């Protein structure tokens, strides 16, 4: 190997960014200690990592081209400090595996190039090697009861690894996924985006699966297609009758008369005022009203007598 970073990667000083990537890919695979048992391969592999780390970064490369390795690592002279070149001292982190993983992507990128201890051809997969899809990725999608009642559109930004145009390297890019929430969707509904996971040279991207998680509501509890509403009433109201006012999720005010005697297990069912059915949003479940009866904390002797007399009839 030569003494300059260009010599290390076996390229000339006019090499393009694509040339630098191709050279590093070829040599890093060749001298990776996992595939090359030569005693010098670890040292060469480290040199390759440092050379690529410098030449793949435009600012580091510009400083190296102008001031050499001494200027890059020792700091450029003060008179050149305003030139816009790399001005701080460069120190390679010394972990060539880190450089290798950042280049190829993944926690074990070298595994992408070997199957059953047989190296793959650099042009792609060996004949007969079948790509397998990565395991699907699950994410919770938290939605309010109002979202699930009316339906809505949610846009979610994901970051994923995509292959670059050179077909060898990858980078992290953002993408917006759009979910059209349908009225009546329930807890546990799954929305699948096929092959939107990380891309790799020898694998099929994973599916991304969003799972609906319903947020709690201040007044309603959902039970399948029904809505449960708890009304707080006094003992007098429970025995003599009253009306319950309920503000619905579509901003209507229902006034519901209660003429029955209300006991602790009593419920009032109002059909057609629950959640829409996902398969037919024009149909809706029921509104079920339960009652929390507030008993008096104490009664005078006179009041107790009056109640006894009233209940005697």
Q: What is the pLDDT of residues 188-218, one digit of tens each?
A: 999 999 999 888 777 788 899 999 999 999 9
Indicate if 24 and 106 belong to the same structural domain. yes
Structure tokens at 310: 């009233």
Q: Quickly list H helices, the chain.
A: 5-8, 17-31, 41-55, 58-74, 96-104, 145-150, 235-240, 301-312
Give the position of tokens 């917006």.
Answer: 176
Q: Residue 275: which pLDDT band, with cuts at 50, 70 and 90?
A: very high
Looking up residue 19, the CATH number of its domain turns out to be 1.10.287.110
Q: What is the pLDDT of residue 108?
A: 52
Q: Is residue 232 part of a domain?
A: yes
Q: Is residue 66 part of a domain?
A: no
Indicate if 303 and 243 belong to the same structural domain. yes
Indicate if 163 and 269 belong to the same structural domain. no
Q: What is the pLDDT of residue 126?
A: 42
Q: Is residue 19 part of a domain?
A: yes
pTM for the full predicted model = 0.56
Indicate if 210 and 260 belong to the same structural domain. no
Pairing of the two strands 190-193 and 242-247: unpaired
Closest among 290, 306, 291, 293 to 235, alpha carbons compared: 293
What is the span of the domain harbouring residue 109? 5-56+95-119
Q: Is residue 79 part of a domain?
A: no
Question: Residue 111 pLDDT > 60, yes or no?
Answer: no
Q: What total of structural domains would you count in the chain?
A: 3
Indicate if 244 and 170 belong to the same structural domain. no
Question: Residue 104 pLDDT > 80, yes or no?
Answer: no
Indicate if 179 and 233 belong to the same structural domain. no
Looking up residue 181, the CATH number of its domain turns out to be 2.60.260.20
Indicate if 281 and 307 belong to the same structural domain. yes
Indicate if 42 and 138 belong to the same structural domain. no
Is residue 13 exposed (0-12), middle (13-18) or buried (19+ Cβ within 10 Å)? exposed
Indicate if 224 and 210 belong to the same structural domain. no
Report the alpha-carbon distance of residue 119 to residue 126 in Å, rounded: 9
Indicate if 179 and 200 belong to the same structural domain. yes
Report the alpha-carbon distance of residue 214 to residue 224 in Å, rounded: 12
More confident call, 111 vs 274: 274
Indicate if 43 and 107 belong to the same structural domain. yes
Indicate if 17 and 31 belong to the same structural domain. yes
Of 58-62, 212-216, 303-307, give the range with the top mean pLDDT: 212-216
């Amino acid at each position: 190997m030569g003494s300059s970073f260009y010599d290390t990667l076996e390229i000339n000083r006019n090499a393009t960014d694509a040339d630098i990537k191709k050279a590093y890919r070829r040599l890093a695979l060749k001298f990776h200690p996992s595939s090359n048992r030569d005693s010098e391969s670890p040292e060469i592999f480290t040199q390759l990592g440092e050379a690529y780390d410098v030449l793949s970064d435009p600012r580091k490369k510009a400083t190296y081209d102008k001031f050499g390795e001494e200027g890059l690592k020792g700091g450029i002279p003060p008179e050149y400090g305003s030139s816009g070149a790399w001005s701080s001292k460069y120190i390679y982190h010394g972990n060539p595996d880190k450089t290798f993983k950042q280049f190829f992507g993944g926690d074990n990128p070298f595994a992408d190039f070997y199957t059953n201890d047989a190296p793959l051809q650099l042009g792609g997969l060996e004949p007969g090697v079948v790509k397998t899809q990565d395991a699907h990725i699950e994410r919770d999608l938290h939605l309010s009861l109002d979202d699930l009642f009316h339906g809505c559109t949610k846009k979610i930004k994901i970051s994923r690894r995509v292959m670059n145009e050179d077909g060898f390297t990858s980078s992290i890019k953002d993408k917006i996924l759009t979910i059209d929430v349908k009225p009546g969707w329930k807890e546990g509904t799954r929305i699948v985006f096929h092959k939107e996971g990380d891309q790799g040279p020898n694998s099929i991207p994973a599916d991304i699966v969003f799972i609906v998680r319903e947020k709690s509501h201040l007044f309603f509890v959902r039970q399948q297609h029904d809505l449960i509403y708890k009304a707080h009433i006094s003992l007098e109201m429970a025995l003599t009758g009253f009306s319950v006012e309920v503000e619905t999720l579509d901003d209507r005010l229902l006034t519901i008369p209660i003429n029955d005697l209300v006991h602790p297990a009593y419920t009032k069912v109002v059909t057609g005022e629950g959640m829409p059915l996902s398969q037919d949003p024009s149909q809706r479940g029921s509104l079920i009203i339960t009652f929390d009866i507030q008993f008096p904390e104490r009664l005078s002797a006179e009041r107790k007598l009056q109640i006894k007399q009233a209940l005697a009839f």
